[in-house]
Structure 1
Amino acid sequence: MRNITYMQALQEAHIEEMKRDESIFLMGIELRNMGSGIGQTMGAYQEFGPDRIFDTPISESGYVGTAVGLALGGIRTIVEVQFADFLSYAFDSIVNQAAKIRYLSAGKECVPLVIRAPQGMGFFFGAQHSQCVEGWFLNVPGLKIAIPSNAYDAKGLLKSAIRDDDPVLFLEHKECIFMKGEVPEEEYTVPFGQAKIVRPGADVTIVAMQKMVWESLKAAEELEKEGVSVEIIDPRTLVPFDKDTVFESVKKTGKVVIANEAPKRGSVSGEISALITENCFNYLKAPIMRVGAENIPIPFGVNETHVLPNANDIMAAVKSII
Structure 2
Amino acid sequence: MTQVKEKERKLTIARAMAEAIAQEMRIDDKVFVMGEDIGELGGVFGNTRGLHEEFGGERVRDTPISETAFIGAAVGAASDGMKPVVELMFVDFFGVCFDAIYNMMAKNTYFSGGNVTVPMVLMTSTGGGYSDGGQHSQCVHATFAHLPGMKVVAPSNAYDAKGMMIAAIRDPNPVVFMFHKALQGMGWLGTEKEAIVHVPEAAYEVELGKAVVTRPGTDVTIVGITSGVHFGLKAARILEEQGVSAEVVDLRSLAPLDRDTVIESVKKTGRLIVVDEDYHSYGMTAEIIASVVEAGVPLKAAPQRVAYPDIPIPFARPMEQWALPSPEKIIAAFNKMKED
Same fold (TM over 0.5): yes
For 2:180 and 2:120, how far apart are their aligned partners in 1? 20
Tell whether the 8 Å contact from 1:119 to 1:131 is kept in structure 2 after alignment. yes
Query: How far has the Cα of 1:33 moved from its partner?
Result: 2.5
Which residue number corresponds to residue 131 of structure 1? 138
Q: Could you tell me which residue of structure 2 aligns to residue 252 of structure 1?
A: 268
Q: In structure 2, what is the equivalent of residue 298 of structure 1?
A: 313
The answer for the alignment partner of 1:268 in structure 2 is: 284
Would you say how many aligned residue pairs link Structure 1 and Structure 2?
321
Can you list the C-alpha shifts for 1:261-291, whole angstroms capped at 9, x where unaligned? 0121121111111111111x34122111000
Cα separation, 1, equivalents of 2:14 and 2:144: 24
Q: Contact (CA 8 Å) 1:257, 1:291: kept in 2 or not? A: yes
**Offset at 1:296?**
1.4
SS of 1:81's equivalent?
Answer: strand
Equivalent position to 1:48, from 55, 58, 73 = 55
Amino acid at match of 1:15: A
Aligned residue number for residue 22 of structure 2:
15
Map of 1:320 onto structure 2: 336
Find 2:115's aligned residue among 108, 111, 123: 108
Counterpart of 1:204 in structure 2 is: 220
Give 1:193's match in structure 2, choosing from 192, 209, 215.
Answer: 209
Say if 1:219 and 1:51 are closer, same or farther in 2 by CA, change over 3 A: same
Of the three residues 195, 198, 207, the one matched with 1:182 is 198
Secondary structure of the equivalent of 2:46? coil
| Secondary structure in 1 matching 2:113 | coil
Q: State whether residues 122 and 174 of structure 1, in contact with CA within 8 Å, keep that contact through their aligned partners in structure 2.
A: no
Deviations 1:11-56 (A, max 9, x none): 1111111111111011000122311122210100111001111111
Provide the rounded CA distance (Å) in 2 between the counterparts of 1:33 and 1:185: 24
Contact 1:17–1:159, Cα closer than 8 Å, also in 2: yes
For structure 1, the residue ranges without an aligned partner over 5 or more in a row are none
Per-residue CA distance 1:192-233 (angstroms, 9 max, x = gap): 111110100001001111111111111111111111110000
> Shift in Å at residue 96 of structure 1?
1.2
Distance 1:187 1:66 in 2: 28
The amino acid across from 1:292 in the alignment is A
Aligned to 1:2: 9
In 1, Cα distance between equivalents of 2:219 and 2:29: 50
Q: Does 1:26 align with 2:33?
A: yes
Q: Is it true that 1:214 corresponds to 2:230 in the alignment?
A: yes
Give the secondary structure class of the aligned counterpart of 2:254.
Answer: strand
Runs of 4+ in 1 over 2 A off after TM superposition: none
1:256 deviates by 0.2
- Is the CA contact 1:123–1:174 (under 8 Å) kept in the aligned structure 2? no
Give the letter for the 1:199 counterpart: R
- In structure 2, stretches of 5+ residues that fail to align are 1-7, 186-191
Partner residue, 1:91:
98
Equivalence for 2:298: 283
CA deviations over 1:153-208 (Å, ceiling 9, x no partner)? 11110110000000001000000001421112222110111111010000100111
RMSD: 1.1
Aligned partner of residue 82 in structure 1, secondary structure:
strand
Q: Which residue of 219, 224, 233 corresponds with 2:249?
A: 233
Residues 78-115 of structure 1, C-alpha deviation per residue, up to 9 Å, x if partnerless?
10011110022111111111111111111111000100
**Deviation at residue 301 of structure 1 after TM alignment:** 4.7
Aligned mates of 1:68, 1:156 — CA distance in 2: 23
> Which AA in structure 1 matches 2:70?
Y
Scaled by the length of structure 2, what TM-score is found?
0.92
User: Hey, what does 1:152 align to over in structure 2?
Assistant: 159
Using a 3 Å threshold, how does the CA distance of structure 1 residues 31 and 221 change in structure 2: closer, same or farther?
A: same
**2:222–2:275 contact (8 Å) kept in structure 1:** yes
SS in 2 for 1:92: helix
